Structure 1
Amino acid sequence: MYTEKVAIIDIGSNTIRLVIYGIDAQYNYIELQNVKTPARLSHFLEEEDGQKWMRQEGIDRLIQTLQSFNEVCWHYNVDVIRPMATAAIRQSANQEDIFAQVIEATGFNIELVQEEEEALYGQYAVTHTNTIKDAITIDIGGGSCEITLYEDKQGVYLHSFPFGAVSLKDQFFEGKAHNDPDAIAAAREYVSNAFKEYEWIRKAKKPIIAIGGSARNVANVHQLATNYPMAGIHGYEMNEVDLSDTFNLFVNTPYEEMSDIEGLSNDRTDLIIPATIVFQELMKVTKADIFSLSSQGLREGIILKYINEKYDTPIDNKLIRKRSVEGVVRDFPINTFGSDIDIHITLSLFEELVKWGQLEESAEIREELTFATILYRFGGFISTEADSQHTFYILSNMNLLGFSHYKRLRLALLASFRNRTLYKQYLETFEDWLTQEEFDLLERLGGLLKFAQALNDSKTAPIKDIRLLKADQNTYELLIYHNESIVAEKYRANRHKKHLERALDGSLKLNFVYTER
């Protein structure tokens, strides 16, 4: 099933995490195992003569964790193990001793990820799993904070700041309450001044894409606090007010009750305020309107780069949505027989409606129609009677890389379209997500999709061409050219003609024209 299995061990300042990926024949990376421990290695750093040294207690904890992870890798028959260390070991003056002890105890050669590499791995993951062309990325760990700026998916600037959630806590909140106002003010000033030193950060004015556990926790908390109707945090967007509301929830919650906040991990209760301060100050300094979340970060950047370097760049950062849809087809028992014909018919109908001014030409709509045709009511593998409901639920709640939550909702609505009643029902929990114009457009496109399916009902491709003619202002004639028997197609097309009529906003006559082979 997998051509190889690769384990990434992310040795951070706050946590040590093992992720095992299986790489299949299509170069997809599938997460097989994900385990972590809150090692807090940065707590074992002591300063002496202007340098930081990791105490033996911290080294022992690292070795113990790596030995445990090695056993997990053995059970999974892993081919490649890459232990990779970031800020805590990077800042240790005795890192050579740490490496030597680890090799002797585990046989692992730790790769030290330099500041620039750490920033680039995160950026690589974002640009290969997100369709935002220009953005600022932020990845805050326990002891460092990597900021990058990319334009047209190409890196322009990057910097690694020597502070993280753990180090900010130690520097400003040591011996104080988790919500101490003076500590918060001092931390804000420190972080803000650090960001303002860089002109490219001050003048960015681009969306922020956040990576890492702290960002995921902020998003999870906000979603649960606002009864957000969609699952998943990849592509989730917040604004400055959303961040402020979430921050105030942390500040106004007594520390002994922080663990009761839904969506907040127990091992981050003392770190979430310093981390959120960093997110807020970056938004203020860059004047960003959007704070977007990425579930793909350092580890995904490492595995993506590994695949592209080893297998001649099979993962194209311009085809992210296409790979996501292919992933749905791979992961579910979807019958794609005849889908090429279905797509051709769907797009041909779209072109005919554009020709008569009923729809506007749009590359994005063409892409949406293509993907929705491939996935059209695939939820029938669960129940044919509820194929629309299952399709909508799965697509609206699964992690589709490259799709914002708004784009994911549009895809789910189109791929599940069955009738106007269900369409309205699905949108009841997504109040204000669509304008009236968008609501009407998607309903018309859904009707087009349903009618297009009828023209290849037998999956034998009997329809060779279609032409839409206009008889008068409100009357159209659709010429459907075929060279085979079309009993099934004719029945279904006449039955679902009303859906195309709604897309046309007029009456429609179907004319089936037999042509010689």
Structure 2
Amino acid sequence: MFKEKVAIIDIGSNSIRLVIYGIDEEYNFVELQNVKTPARLSENIQMINEQAILDQTGIDKLISALDSFKYVIESYQADTVIPKATAAIRQSANQASIIEQVEQATGIRIQLVSEQEEALYGLYAVLHSTTIEDAVTIDIGGGSCEITLYEKKELKHYKSFPFGAVSLRKDFFTDKAHNDPEAMEAVRKFVRKQFKAFPWIKKAKLPIIAIGGSARNVANVHQRLVHYPLAGIHGYGMTDDAIDMTLQTFVTTEASKLGDIDGLSSDRQDIIIPATIVFQELYNVVKASFLAISTQGLREGIVLKYINEKYNTPIDMSLIRARTIRGIGHLFPVDTSRNYLRINYALSLYQQLCELNLLPYSYEYHEEIEFAAYLYHFGSFIDVEADSQHTFYLLSNMNLSGYSHRKRLRLALLSSYRNRSLQNQYLEIFPGWFTEEEQLLLQKLGGILKFSQALNDSQTDPIDSLELVALDDGNYRLDIYHHKPIIAEKYRAQRHLKHLERALDGQLSLNFIAINQPA
């Protein structure tokens, strides 16, 4: 089933995590196992003679975690093990001793990740999972905070700051309440000064893409606060007001009650306030338009880079959405062998409608139609009678690389389109997401998809081409050229004629033309 299994060990300042990925024939990586321990190694770093030293207790915790991970790695028969260590060990003056002790005890040789590498791994994951062309990225760990700025998908600047959520809590909140106002203000001033020291961060006026566990927690909590109707956080966008609302929830909740906040992990309760302040201050310094969450971070960057270096770059950052859509086709037991016909019919009709100035043309709409045609009613593998409902639910609640939540919802609506009434029913829990004009356009595009589906109802591929003709009386005729019998298609197309007709400013008649049809 998999070409290779790769185990990534991420030794961070806050936690130590093992993720095992399976690499399939299409070079997609599938998470097979994900285990972690909140080791908090940065809390075991002592300053001795003005040098940071990871004490023996911290080293023993690390050895214990890696020793237990070995059993998981062996049980999954991983082909490759990549153990990476970031700030906690990188900043320790006794790093050579740490690496030697770990190797002697476990047989695992830790690979240190430099500041630059840590920033670039996170950026690599972002660039391969989002279509945002220009942005500032942030990954705040336990002991460091990586910031990058990229334009046109190319790195322009990066900086690894020597502070993280755990170290900020340790430096500013020791022996103080989790929401101490003076400590919070001190963190703000400190972080703001750090960020403002770099002109490329100050007033960058770009979106921010946040990766890492703290970012995911903030997004998860905010979604629950606002009763967000979609699942998944990849591509979730937050404004400064949304970040502040979430921060105020943490601040106004007693320490003993933080565990009651839905979406907040137990091992992040004491560090979530400093982490959220960092997001808020970066947002303000950058003067960002919004902050988006990426679930693809350091570990994903490591495995992506590994795949591209080993297998001659099969994962192209310019084809993120196409890979995502193909991945859905591989993930579910759906026969996609004849989808290309539906795609061709739908795109042909869309382009001809645009040429007649009946619909606006854009590459975004072209792509949406192509991908929705590929996935059209794929939920039938669950239940044919409820294929629209299953298609809509699955697509609207999946983390999809390259898609914001709004674009994900559009894809779900188009791929599941059956009629206006059902579309309106789906949209009832998404008030204000789309204007009336946008909803009307989605109905027209959905109508194209439904009509295109009818043109191969018999699954015998009888139709060759379509030609939409504007008549002198203001109406239209669709010439349908076919080379095989079309009894099923003729019946189905007539039934679905009204869906395509909604995109016209007149009536539509169908004209079936036989070409080279066998006797």
TM-score range, shorter chain: over 0.9
Alpha-carbon distance in structure 2 between the residues aligned to 1:249 and 1:210: 20
Alpha-carbon distance in structure 1 between the residues aligned to 2:42 and 2:472: 76
- Give 2:196's aligned residue: 196
Q: Could you say what secondary structure the match of 1:319 adopts? A: helix
- Give 1:212's aligned residue: 212
Deviation at 1:472, TM superposition (A): 4.4
- The code of the aligned residue for 2:286 comes to T
The superposition leaves residues 247-269 of structure 1 with CA deviations (integer Å, 9 ceiling, x where unpaired) of 01110111110110000001111
The superposition leaves residues 441-470 of structure 1 with CA deviations (integer Å, 9 ceiling, x where unpaired) of 001000111001111212222212211122
Alpha-carbon distance in structure 1 between the residues aligned to 2:94 and 2:269: 30
Q: Is the aligned partner of 1:470 residue 2:470?
A: yes
Q: Is the 8 A contact 1:142 1:165 kept in 2?
A: yes
Alpha-carbon distance in structure 2 between the residues aligned to 1:298 and 1:211: 8
Q: Is the 8 A contact 1:454 1:489 kept in 2?
A: yes
Question: What is the Cα-based RMSD across aligned positions, in Å?
Answer: 0.9
Alpha-carbon distance in structure 2 between the residues aligned to 1:403 and 1:460: 34
| CA distance 1:514–1:86, change in 2 (3 Å) | same
- The code of the aligned residue for 1:487 comes to I
Alpha-carbon distance in structure 1 between the residues aligned to 2:473 and 2:48: 85
Alpha-carbon distance in structure 2 between the residues aligned to 1:37 and 1:52: 23
Q: Is the aligned partner of 1:401 residue 2:398?
A: no
- Give the unaligned 5+ runs of structure 2: none
- The code of the aligned residue for 2:50 comes to G
- Give 2:316's aligned residue: 316
Alpha-carbon distance in structure 1 between the residues aligned to 2:308 and 2:473: 55
Deviation at 1:243, TM superposition (A): 0.3
- The code of the aligned residue for 1:120 comes to L
Which sits farther off after the overlay, 298-307 or 19-28?
A: 19-28
Deviation at 1:471, TM superposition (A): 2.1
- Give 2:354's aligned residue: 354
Q: Is the 8 A contact 2:475 2:505 kept in 1?
A: no
Q: Could you say what secondary structure the match of 1:365 adopts? A: helix
Q: Is the aligned partner of 1:43 residue 2:43?
A: yes
Q: Is the 8 A contact 2:468 2:479 kept in 1?
A: yes
- The code of the aligned residue for 1:176 comes to K
- Give 1:131's aligned residue: 131
- Give 1:166's aligned residue: 166
- Give the unaligned 5+ runs of structure 1: none
Alpha-carbon distance in structure 2 between the residues aligned to 1:472 and 1:165: 70
- The code of the aligned residue for 1:202 comes to K
The superposition leaves residues 24-52 of structure 1 with CA deviations (integer Å, 9 ceiling, x where unpaired) of 11111110000000000001100011111
Equivalence map 1:95-494=2 (5 Å): 95-472=95-472, 474-494=474-494
Deviation at 1:203, TM superposition (A): 3.2
Q: Is the 8 A contact 1:337 1:459 kept in 2?
A: no
The superposition leaves residues 361-403 of structure 1 with CA deviations (integer Å, 9 ceiling, x where unpaired) of 1111111111111110011111111000000000000111111
- Give 2:3's aligned residue: 3
Runs of 4+ in 1 over 4 A off after TM superposition: none
Deviation at 1:337, TM superposition (A): 2.3
Alpha-carbon distance in structure 1 between the residues aligned to 2:395 and 2:381: 14
- The code of the aligned residue for 1:66 comes to L
Deviation at 1:298, TM superposition (A): 0.2
The superposition leaves residues 152-174 of structure 1 with CA deviations (integer Å, 9 ceiling, x where unpaired) of 11111000000000111011111
- Give 1:20's aligned residue: 20
Q: Could you say what secondary structure the match of 1:35 adopts? A: strand
Deviation at 1:212, TM superposition (A): 0.3
| CA distance 1:101–1:473, change in 2 (3 Å) | farther
Deviation at 1:474, TM superposition (A): 4.5
Which sits farther off after the overlay, 497-506 or 279-288?
A: 497-506
Alpha-carbon distance in structure 2 between the residues aligned to 1:99 and 1:337: 51
Q: Is the 8 A contact 2:42 2:88 kept in 1?
A: yes
Q: Could you say what secondary structure the match of 2:201 adopts? A: helix
- Equivalent pairs: percent with the same residue? 60
- The code of the aligned residue for 2:372 comes to A
Q: Could you say what secondary structure the match of 2:322 adopts? A: helix
Deviation at 1:476, TM superposition (A): 1.2
The superposition leaves residues 269-297 of structure 1 with CA deviations (integer Å, 9 ceiling, x where unpaired) of 10000000000000000000110000000
| CA distance 1:430–1:96, change in 2 (3 Å) | same
Q: Is the 8 A contact 2:211 2:297 kept in 1?
A: yes
Deviation at 1:436, TM superposition (A): 1.2
Alpha-carbon distance in structure 2 between the residues aligned to 1:345 and 1:401: 26
Deviation at 1:207, TM superposition (A): 0.5
Q: Could you say what secondary structure the match of 1:385 adopts? A: helix
Deviation at 1:494, TM superposition (A): 0.3
- The code of the aligned residue for 1:389 comes to Q
Q: Is the 8 A contact 2:454 2:496 kept in 1?
A: yes
Q: Is the 8 A contact 1:338 1:460 kept in 2?
A: no
- The code of the aligned residue for 1:172 comes to F
Q: Could you say what secondary structure the match of 2:27 adopts? A: coil
Q: Could you say what secondary structure the match of 2:427 adopts? A: helix
Alpha-carbon distance in structure 2 between the residues aligned to 1:174 and 1:502: 65
Deviation at 1:473, TM superposition (A): 6.0
Alpha-carbon distance in structure 2 between the residues aligned to 1:107 and 1:394: 43
Q: Is the 8 A contact 1:206 1:288 kept in 2?
A: yes
- The code of the aligned residue for 1:411 comes to L
Deviation at 1:506, TM superposition (A): 2.5
Q: Is the aligned partner of 1:64 residue 2:81?
A: no
Alpha-carbon distance in structure 1 between the residues aligned to 2:473 and 2:59: 80
Normalised to the residue count of structure 2, the TM-score between the two structures is: 0.99
The superposition leaves residues 72-122 of structure 1 with CA deviations (integer Å, 9 ceiling, x where unpaired) of 000000111111100000111111111111011000110000100000000
Q: Could you say what secondary structure the match of 2:424 adopts? A: helix
Q: Is the 8 A contact 1:135 1:208 kept in 2?
A: yes
- The code of the aligned residue for 1:425 comes to Q
- The code of the aligned residue for 2:47 comes to E
Alpha-carbon distance in structure 1 between the residues aligned to 2:230 and 2:295: 15
Aligned length: 517
- The code of the aligned residue for 1:422 comes to L
- The code of the aligned residue for 2:36 comes to K
Alpha-carbon distance in structure 1 between the residues aligned to 2:459 and 2:202: 57
